[in-house]
Structure 1
Amino acid sequence: MGSILTTLVLLALACAAAFGAQAASMPLPFMIGPLIASGIVATTVSDRLPDGYRFPPMLRLVFISVIGLMIGAQVTPELFGQASRFAVSFTALTLFVIVAHAYGYSVLRFIGGYDRPTAFYGAAPGGLFESIALGEEAGADPARLTLQQFLRIIAVVTLLPIGLSLWVGHPVGSSAGVTLGRGDVPWSAFPLIACAGAAGLGLGHVLRLPAKQLTGPLSVAALLSLTGIYHVDVPQWLINVAQIVVGTALGMRFAGLSGGLVLRGVGLTVLCVGGMMGLAIVFALALMQVLEQPFDVLLISFAPGGVTEMSLVALSLSANPAFVTLHHIFRILITVVGLGVSSKLVRRRL
């Protein structure tokens, strides 16, 4: 009973933090607000929680599947209809992922002193949930891995929209009220949403997909959309709830990290993200003439941030959101495939 009450209190605190972050016009407020609040609880008062308390893993799994459905629903026939035109940019993006990952690994391994699994998965320039799930399976330190991956996301989705907002003269991204969700989804659609999520979890388990709790539902939603059978429209309030739950669960993984380790993680993130963004700028400048796309569109497409926020930034700027979304989905797929292959090779070697 104590664990249930603790979970309810944590979620109440997370909700307050989410709406506070929204009022402060923070990017991804329903994810970052709860993450910060629960992270503070985990690092400062974890000794006051019930003995052996863990945030319910099943609750986290269910709502991660909701996020997977939302991302997969963005994979429309119109989006993939443009894919054949982007051979050059996809090749460049593949090279970007390889170089950015190698650079990040070097920073975390040789400057940060992290062990190899934590440095490798913590440096992945995409696939937040996949990196965390695969890294835990490979023996990475879950607290430091979660810290580095979320600091990467926070840095990019905070600093890039702020920089672009100053450049264009108005807010962009989720802080501008742009959303990928819908507010007019009827209640009759919820059984179909639940079935798609359950089918995705089952598919991920049967096919042993990497980070199956996310990639399974993502694959089902994308398949339904591409075939025209059904388009999974996830209401915005459900996306918000999912972000609150997942943000709270991940923040609680910071238990055991001291303030010094968090500050050290921030410093390493500055080095990692600074180098990755510098690399993204180089790629964007090099491809402007070849792809006939504006610099800001290419920069958003190569930035190692979350697909949701980067797509929202593109929508805010009317900056070819289909182009941006397709490139971020491709970046995540390349990263996840690379991590999955690496995990299998490591297991075989061990």
Structure 2
Amino acid sequence: MKVLETYLVAGLAGLLFYHLHSPIPWMLGAITGMLVWKTIIKRQVAAPKALSNSGLIVLGTYFGLSFTKETLLTIAPYIVPFLAVAVLLIVINIMNSIAVTKWTHIDKVTSVFASVPGGLSEMVAASESFNANTALVTIFQTIRLLTVVFLVPTAVVHWLSGDASSGSSTAQAVAASADGHYAWLLLSVFGALLLRNIIPAAYVVGPLAVTAVMHVAGVNLPPLPAWLIILAQISVGMNMGDRITLEDIKLGGKFSWVYFLLALVLIALSFGCGWAFAKLTDLPLSTALLSLAPGGLVEMVLTAQTVGGDPAIVSSLQFVRLLLVIIVVPNVLKWVFRKFPYITETSWKNRSVRN
């Protein structure tokens, strides 16, 4: 019953955001609904990880259906310049996070891992190996996550509001197929399970890859029904909202606004680089912006659907960025901190605090 109550609250919040013409309304609405239900109404919520993973599998499959042979030919020339811009953004972000330690008195290692635009769990795990303050890393990464998830889709949709309508994008993008046979979805599930311990975001990337390969190979796949895409977004949003608490954010105290500003600076820089990327290539502005935006793969691809961008290109380049941030960056940081130990000198007295 608790799960049904949670779905009801998340669904109604998503419906409200839909009628308010919010970008990716079902996901952002579900996140907001969970936060309000927990903190104001004081009710417990139940958002099992299995339901979120199921939603990610559906969304990964949905994204994979947009892949064509032309997609692969389009992104190939852009991989190297894209990586160069992505690395530049990460380096600038790291330098900014080190610079603010002069005023916050938080140690540099904690500050860097707290602001790098990577996965929350991956950044916490990497910071722990350097005896950083993992509690602060968790809190400030949560602030960054909320800022990006809510601000980037909203900013892009309003910036490009003339290109596509927001709010009803899911219903417009996906036509339900009464005659469709969906046994092939089992292959998407298999792809997710096969890669879950191998790559990040496996529950999205596995189904996306399986579906994309079949679609590019010429297999006739029916579109997914709109209600299933909406349910998947609600399931993912529920879980995100369940993992975030206002109490955690409050623990960041007077330094929370610093990392909020760092997130804003990163977003602004990524938009600037995205604009330049669009000018230097023949990619549409919406596609270029969302490919470089420091948001989650799922959120950025859904936003691409809303504003008329190319979801296949956005998902491909965002996955490259995801691999760079989650796999390469932590290992490079470990090498740098070991090679130049003076960087890790700390003035944060409570560095040993743990979750």
Superposition TM-score, scaled by structure 2 size: 0.73
| CA distance, structure 2, for counterparts of residue 282 and residue 59 of structure 1 | 36
Contact 1:180 1:308 in 2 (8 A): no
State the one-letter code of the partner of 2:152: V
Classify 1:223/1:150 alpha carbon distance in 2 versus 1 (closer, same or farther; 3 Å): farther
Deviations 1:10-61 (A, max 9, x none): 1111111010010111111100001011012333455x53xxx753222222
Instruction: Identify the residue that residue 72 of structure 2 maps to in structure 1.
Output: 80
- Which of residues 154, 157, 161 is equivalent to 1:161? 157
Establish whether residue 202 from structure 1 lines up as the match of residue 193 from structure 2.
yes
- Which of residues 105, 122, 137 is equivalent to 1:134? 122
- Which of residues 216, 230, 236 is equivalent to 2:206? 216
Contact 1:151 1:269 in 2 (8 A): no
**Aligned pairs, number:** 325
| CA distance, structure 2, for counterparts of residue 91 and residue 342 of structure 1 | 13
Between structure 1 and structure 2, the one with the greater Rg is 2
- Which of residues 306, 331, 334 is equivalent to 2:318? 331
State the one-letter code of the partner of 1:62: S
Local SS of the residue matching 2:216: helix
Instruction: Identify the residue that residue 22 of structure 1 maps to in structure 2.
Output: 18
Deviations 1:177-227 (A, max 9, x none): 46684222336433222x03321222113x622232233222222332333
Q: How much is the aligned-residue C-alpha RMSD, in angstroms?
A: 3.9
- Which of residues 64, 69, 80 is equivalent to 2:56? 64
State the one-letter code of the partner of 1:311: A
Aligned pairs (5 A) from 1:109-128: 113=106, 116=109, 120=113, 123-124=116-117
Q: Give the CA deviation at 1:268.
A: 4.7
Instruction: Identify the residue that residue 99 of structure 1 maps to in structure 2.
Output: 91
| CA distance, structure 2, for counterparts of residue 61 and residue 225 of structure 1 | 23
Contact 2:249 2:256 in 1 (8 A): no
- Which of residues 179, 191, 198 is equivalent to 2:183? 191
Classify 1:286/1:63 alpha carbon distance in 2 versus 1 (closer, same or farther; 3 Å): closer
| Greater mean deviation of Cα atoms: 334-343 or 136-145 | 136-145
Deviations 1:219-266 (A, max 9, x none): 222332333345473322111101111111111112362674599798
Establish whether residue 276 from structure 1 lines up as the match of residue 266 from structure 2.
yes
Identity %: 19
State the one-letter code of the partner of 2:300: V
State the one-letter code of the partner of 1:175: G
Instruction: Identify the residue that residue 308 of structure 1 maps to in structure 2.
Output: 301
Contact 1:74 1:222 in 2 (8 A): yes
Local SS of the residue matching 2:183: helix
Contact 2:293 2:300 in 1 (8 A): no
Give the helix-richer structure, 1 or 2.
1
Superposition TM-score, scaled by structure 1 size: 0.74
State the one-letter code of the partner of 1:77: K
What are the ranges of 5 or more consecutive residues in structure 1 without an aligned counterpart? 126-130, 316-320
Q: Give the CA deviation at 1:329.
A: 2.5
| CA distance, structure 1, for counterparts of residue 238 and residue 217 of structure 2 | 35
State the one-letter code of the partner of 1:134: E
Q: Give the CA deviation at 1:121.
A: 6.5
Classify 1:250/1:264 alpha carbon distance in 2 versus 1 (closer, same or farther; 3 Å): farther
Classify 1:37/1:263 alpha carbon distance in 2 versus 1 (closer, same or farther; 3 Å): farther
Classify 1:149/1:162 alpha carbon distance in 2 versus 1 (closer, same or farther; 3 Å): same
State the one-letter code of the partner of 1:21: F
| Greater mean deviation of Cα atoms: 87-96 or 247-256 | 87-96
State the one-letter code of the partner of 1:9: E
